[in-house]
Amino acid sequence: MAMKWLSKWRLLSLFTMLAFVLSGCGLPHLSTLQPAGEVAQTQYDLMVLSTAIMVGVIVVVTVIFLIVLFRFRRKDDKIPKQVEGSHKLEIIWTVIPILLLLVLAVPTVKATFDLADVEAMDQKNEEGKTDALVVNVRANLYWWEFEYPNEEIVTSQELVVPTDEKVYFNLKASDVKHSFWIPAVGGKMDTNTDNVNKFWLEFDSAAADEAGELFYGKCAELCGPSHALMDFKVKTLPRDEFDQWVADMQDVKEPAVAQTPKAQQGQEIFNNSCIGCHAVTPANTTPEAARMAPNLTNFGERDYVAGLITMENNEENIKEWLRDPEKYKPANKMTGTYGELSEDELDALAEYLLGLKVQE
Amino acid sequence: MSTYAQKRGFGATLWDYLTTVDHKKIAILYFIAGGFFFVLGGIEAMIIRIQLAIPNNDFVSAGFYNEILTMHGTTMIFLAAMPLLFGFMNAIMPLQIGARDVAFPFVNALGFWLFFFGGTFLNLSWFLGGAPDAGWTSYASLSLASEGHGIDFYVLGLQISGFGTLMGGINFLVTIINMRAPGMTYMRMPLFTWTTFVASSLILFAFPPLTVSIFMLMFDRLFGSNFFVTAAGGNTIIWEHFFWIFGHPEVYILILPAFGIFSEIIPVFARKRLFGYSSMVFATVLIGFLGFMVWAHHMFTVGLGPIANAIFAVATMAIAVPTGIKIFNWLFTAWGGSVSFTTPMHYALAFIPSFLMGGVTGVMLAVAAADYQYHDTYFVVAHFHYVIVGGVVFAVLGGLQFYWPKMFGTMLNETLGKITFWLFFAGFHLTFFIQHFLGLWGMPRRIYTFLPGQGYELSNLVSTIGALLMAVATVVLVINIIITVKKNERIGNDPWGDGRTLEWAIPSPAPFYNFKQLPLVRGLDPYWIEKMEGKKGMTPAEPLGDIHMPNSSIIPFIMSFGLFVSAFGVMYRLDYAWGLPVLIIGLVITFGSMLARSLKDDHGFHIHKEDLIDDDNEKGVKA
């Protein structure tokens, strides 16, 4: 009986501890402290190593500091001995830090080179394509475009990737500088206006499972008023499901025809007012300059409107967004590009947009 | 001199300060202007923290928030921290080396007025269509895309104030090289003088890249050039390099004088000479040198490639070594000493662990591969506030309490000083410690709001409460200053009782000629040496003689004002017809006053020997 109680108590305290540690580590789909892939893991290990060394330094300094604080308080008016210094001590606190830094420098250099290894992007097969999965990321004022050059499809706002393999990225910006960051999966890299940056990430299936197959991505470089809201999402799929998704996307050659009368009305409005910027076919044949707004081919399958976690993808929120995008993303490029929409038109558009799905 | 000033009317005092070339009065001007901008930057910080106290807050709009965050950084670095440190350099350094003034008193005044008009111009943007909004780093693609005149205010304002800073730096260098009292060798200079010397050399090399880059940005924005316009073959990454080749040494320009102030405070209140003086000097020089080798660690995520990233990572780590040397030497100065816990000593001791925190996160950030995670998150925000608040601001607050008597001849209240300290200390750690974790949990920096449900709510609220404590601390400090000025209880040469360096050998405040006779310096801590031998003051190194002094002049003020005027012309040249004439008028004022200065012979004046003898015997060298 006693043993059982004890084991229960231990289990409970273990859970409490675990809960505490986990809350200290942030959310599994968002925190760098819950690494969900090889890159984040490498970085996490470096964090732990550097923190350990630094805590060691802090402990030594703190001990000396506390002794100074308590032992050498002024007690009388005597003048203490005037010491010039100590060569021995100077050497000690020069050499030991150098050694500690060497311990840190070696894995740093190694990891820096490992994370920059994108050779697979240059290895083309006979079709002129890479065997590795490549995604071209194009950052725009407050939205993200993801182009799959090998698969010849484009999507936006929600990046779809297979788990447990290296995914390679080409990164660039089309207006001002942004920075592409999926905290739980790996460190960021800037999307410059001058050049294309390359790096890779790997999405771990077990961690993705824990994160609900949806990671949060963010823009990490100040880019204007709505920099804070330039979020995107990353949907992870096992390789076979990913292949299925690609095939389904590729199947959309023509804009899907709306099914219900209401949606058909919506499609008509869309074709008059929206299609100039928003494509509803995934082919990457249109030049980039003409892809002026997020591609909406599979909009109905995305989790959020405008990438905002406060805007779950439903009829009400779509209407909210269309009524006044400025309220949700200040200084976005969509505000003012279309006339006032009536309630009826909003209903129709929402129904049409929600119906934009490529998978069963 | 300040006693003279009190007897005069307000107008005469104002005129006195507008025309002064006395380093001690220029120091006071730096403190008034720097203090004002510090409060302004603090108010901007409070707006930031109020906006981020709760998720989805609408206290300020997104665009306005970007202006606030840009001006908070720009103001605090260029218009508060640097001028306040320049205030200390002006007030103390010439006294520490036994000089009667800086090498170029006229240029010294010019430096101040350029800074003042540059800072004023920059802040007028609030009333003239909006402040700059591209961050204090003003990265080129964003700053070129920014509408309105905000960024123009930034480039023009910083250019004008940057000239002033550069002049100040050169002036301090020449002063330290040429004007040391007899016997004051380089290796007998107090650490604050040493750090002033190294920081000034950093200014000499770091400000030209800034000047050049904002000049190019100005041409891109106002005169149609294409230095940073990608579409026209320009390159924005170059801006980042330029900015950080300036920006990283800038951090050391700020922190080294702070190190200097602490290196003065700790020996006085531990009653013990600075431990390892020569390695402290060596470490200072080494930090200054390495400071130029590490700028690209601000750009690890730009895509410079693994070779550059690895080299800059290792170089950055190397800076930890001389900084560590300093930390241990400060600790061992107090070790075996007789430590008195005055307010300045509170700041000095609190600085050690606080700055250490900033230092170790600095090493963590140097780990390039891991920095991809930290970069541009609240982890970085926490790191540099630990360094700049825990280092520079603590030094400014501690140094103010420490040197107040030397500057004004009165003592700030110790009890109120300690209340300020504890509130500020607690508020500081409360605000910034938690931000390390916010960054690691995925919160980017420079965001005007955060959405609920990401686990950031509580930590941001805690951070805001901490900021509030710092604001209260600043209010207590202001009250302390007002009470002290009102009471006006005069004190003697060496109010802390254990002054070691030359400035404590002369009256508080120092007479306008500083030293009646130049002192003879016989070693490190010259005043302490004399005191330990039972003498009351310094041995003079020269017979009493006439002292040559510079005349006051309004020309520095007018010269700077001309640039201020022409800046409006440059900016509004294309908007209004009056732009071009105003540009020309401003330049005519500036060049005209330069011409006047060049053509008019101004030989200064002499204080005659007889007047010096008549002068109160308590003043001068025979303290």
**What residue ranges in B57-126 does DSSP mark as E strands?**
none
Q: Do B338 and A75 touch (CB under 8 A)?
A: yes
Q: B482 with B593, same domain?
A: no
How many CA within 13 A on the CB side of residue B199? 27
Would you say residue B621 has pLDDT above 60? Answer: no
CA distance B267 to chain A (A): 10
* Arithmetic mean of pLDDT, B30-50: 97
Q: B481 with B535, same domain?
A: yes
Measured from the Cβ of residue B158, the count of other Cβ atoms closer than 10 Å reads: 26
CA distance B73 to chain A (A): 14
DSSP B540: B
Which residue type is seen at A67? I
Residue A307 CB burial class (10 angstroms; 0-12, 13-18, ≥19): buried
Mean predicted lDDT score pLDDT of chain A: 93
CA distance A70 to chain B (A): 9
* Arithmetic mean of pLDDT, B149-159: 96
Measured from the Cβ of residue A340, the count of other Cβ atoms closer than 10 Å reads: 6
Decide if B458 touches A, using CB distance below 8 A: no
Beta strands across the sheet bearing A158-162: A158-162, A232-237, A214-219, A178-182, A186-191
Q: B472 with B593, same domain?
A: no
Number of domains in chain B: 2
Q: B486 with B590, same domain?
A: no
Q: Give the structural domain span for B565.
A: 554-601
- Higher per-residue confidence, B327 vs B610: B327
Would you say residue B619 has pLDDT above 50? Answer: no
Q: B421 with B469, same domain?
A: yes
* A154 contacts: CB under 8 Å, gap ≥ 6: A145, A146, A147, A148, A279, A282, A283, A284, A291, A295, A297
* Arithmetic mean of pLDDT, B219-237: 94
Looking at residue A22, its pLDDT comes to: 53
Residue pointed to by tokens 């060497």: A102
Q: B609 with B581, same domain?
A: no
Decide if B437 touches A, using CB distance below 8 A: yes
Which residues of chain B lie closer than 8 angstroms to A24, CB-CB? 437
- Nearest-Cα residue of chain B relative to residue A24: B437
Which of the residues B367, B436, B437, B457 would you substitute to probe the A interface, choosing the one with the greatest number of A C-beta atoms within 10 Å?
Answer: B367
Cα dist from B281 to B195, B298, B332, whole Å: 8, 27, 16
Q: Do A32 and B442 touch (CB under 8 A)?
A: yes
B305, B309, B338: residue with CB nearest A74: B338
Looking at residue B622, its pLDDT comes to: 41
Which residue type is seen at A31? S
* Prediction ipTM score: 0.92
Q: Do B273 and A194 touch (CB under 8 A)?
A: no
DSSP B297: G
CB A40 within 8 A of CB A184: yes
Which residues of chain A lie closer than 8 angstroms to B361, CB-CB? 54
Looking at residue A127, its pLDDT comes to: 87
Q: B480 with B567, same domain?
A: no
Residue B6 lies in a domain: no
Decide if B145 touches A, using CB distance below 8 A: yes
Residue B352 lies in a domain: yes
Which residues of chain A lie closer than 8 angstroms to B314, CB-CB? 105, 108-109
Which residues of chain B lie closer than 8 angstroms to A84, CB-CB? 273, 275-277
Least reliable range by pLDDT among B292-296, B440-444, B601-605: B601-605
Query: For the segment B189-216, what is each residue's pLDDT rounded down to a tens digit?
Result: 999 999 999 999 999 999 999 999 999 9
The tokens describing A196, both together, are: 């294309």
Query: For the segment A296-347, what is each residue's pLDDT rounded down to a tens digit?
Result: 999 999 999 999 999 999 999 999 999 999 999 999 999 999 999 999 999 9
Rounded to 5 degrees, φ, ψ at A54 are -70, -35
- The residues spanned by each domain of chain A are 28-66+88-121+130-235, 261-354
Residue pointed to by tokens 């202007």: B33
- Nearest-Cα residue of chain A relative to residue B266: A68
Residue B31 lies in a domain: yes
Cα dist from B54 to B437, B450, B462, B468, B575, whole Å: 17, 8, 10, 15, 41
Q: B495 with B355, same domain?
A: yes
Looking at residue A18, its pLDDT comes to: 58
Which residues of chain A lie closer than 8 angstroms to B283, CB-CB? none
DSSP for B108-149?
Answer: HHHHHHHHHHHHHHHHHGGGTT----STTTT-HHHHHH--TT
Q: B427 with B474, same domain?
A: yes
Residues in A 63-92 with any Cβ partner in B closer than 8 A: 64-65, 67-69, 72-76, 78-86, 89-90
Looking at residue B602, its pLDDT comes to: 87
Q: How confident is the model at residue B5 (pLDDT cuts 50, 70, 90)?
A: very low
Decide if A174 touches B, using CB distance below 8 A: no
Residues in B 239-278 with any Cβ partner in A closer than 8 A: 270-273, 275-278
Q: Which CATH topology does A261-354 take?
A: Immunoglobulin-like (2.60.40)
Which residues of chain B lie closer than 8 angstroms to A225, CB-CB? 61-63, 65-66, 448
Residue B106 lies in a domain: yes
Q: B511 with B586, same domain?
A: no
The tokens describing B280, both together, are: 């402290």
Looking at residue B376, its pLDDT comes to: 97
Decide if A114 touches B, using CB distance below 8 A: yes
Q: B370 with B451, same domain?
A: yes
Nearest to B427 by CA among B480, B490, B372, B477: B477
Mean predicted lDDT score pLDDT of chain B: 94
Query: For the segment A56-92, what is each residue's pLDDT rounded down to a tens digit?
Result: 999 999 999 999 999 999 999 899 999 999 999 999 9
Say whether domain A28-66+88-121+130-235 belongs to CATH 2.60.40.420.
yes
| The two domains A28-66+88-121+130-235 and A261-354 share their CATH topology (first three levels equal) | yes
* Arithmetic mean of pLDDT, B370-383: 97
Decide if A116 touches B, using CB distance below 8 A: yes
B303, B317, B324: residue with CB nearest A197: B303
Work out the percent of chain B whose per-residue pLDDT is above 70.
97
Q: How confident is the model at residue B613 (pLDDT cuts 50, 70, 90)?
A: confident
Decide if A355 touches B, using CB distance below 8 A: no
Q: B565 with B534, same domain?
A: no
Q: What is the CATH number of the domain that holds B193?
A: 1.20.210.10
DSSP A137: E
Q: Do A50 and B364 touch (CB under 8 A)?
A: yes
Residues in A 315-334 with any Cβ partner in B closer than 8 A: 330-331
Residue pointed to by tokens 């409005």: A269
In angstroms, the CA B601 to CA B593 distance is 14
Q: What is the value of pTM for the model shown?
A: 0.94
Nearest to B298 by CA among B255, B229, B218, B242: B242
* A299 contacts: CB under 8 Å, gap ≥ 6: A313, A353, A354, A356
Query: For the segment B460-512, what is each residue's pLDDT rounded down to a tens digit?
Result: 999 999 999 999 999 999 999 999 999 999 999 999 999 999 999 999 999 99
A47, A83, A192: residue with CB nearest B237: A192
* B354 contacts: CB under 8 Å, gap ≥ 6: B386, B389, B390, B391, B394, B425, B428, B429
Query: For the segment A121-130, what is each residue's pLDDT rounded down to a tens digit?
Result: 999 888 889 9
Q: Which segments of B273-377 does DSSP mark as H helices, in order?
A: 277-290, 306-334, 343-366, 368-374
Decide if B490 touches A, using CB distance below 8 A: no
* Arithmetic mean of pLDDT, B305-310: 96
Looking at residue B611, its pLDDT comes to: 84
Nearest to A143 by CA among A334, A341, A320: A334
Q: Is the peptide bond before B257 cis (omega within 30 degrees of 0)?
A: no
B369, B446, B454: residue with CB nearest A227: B446
Q: Do B440 and A61 touch (CB under 8 A)?
A: no
Decide if A9 touches B, using CB distance below 8 A: no
* B329 contacts: CB under 8 Å, gap ≥ 6: A85, B274, B275, B276, B279, B280, B283
Residue B526 lies in a domain: yes
Looking at residue B623, its pLDDT comes to: 38
What residues in chain A have per-residue pLDDT under 70? Answer: 1-23
Residue B581 lies in a domain: yes
B337, B370, B455: residue with CB nearest A50: B370
Looking at residue B7, its pLDDT comes to: 60
- Angle in degrees, 0-180, between the axes of helices B23-51 and B10-19, rounded to the nearest 10: 90
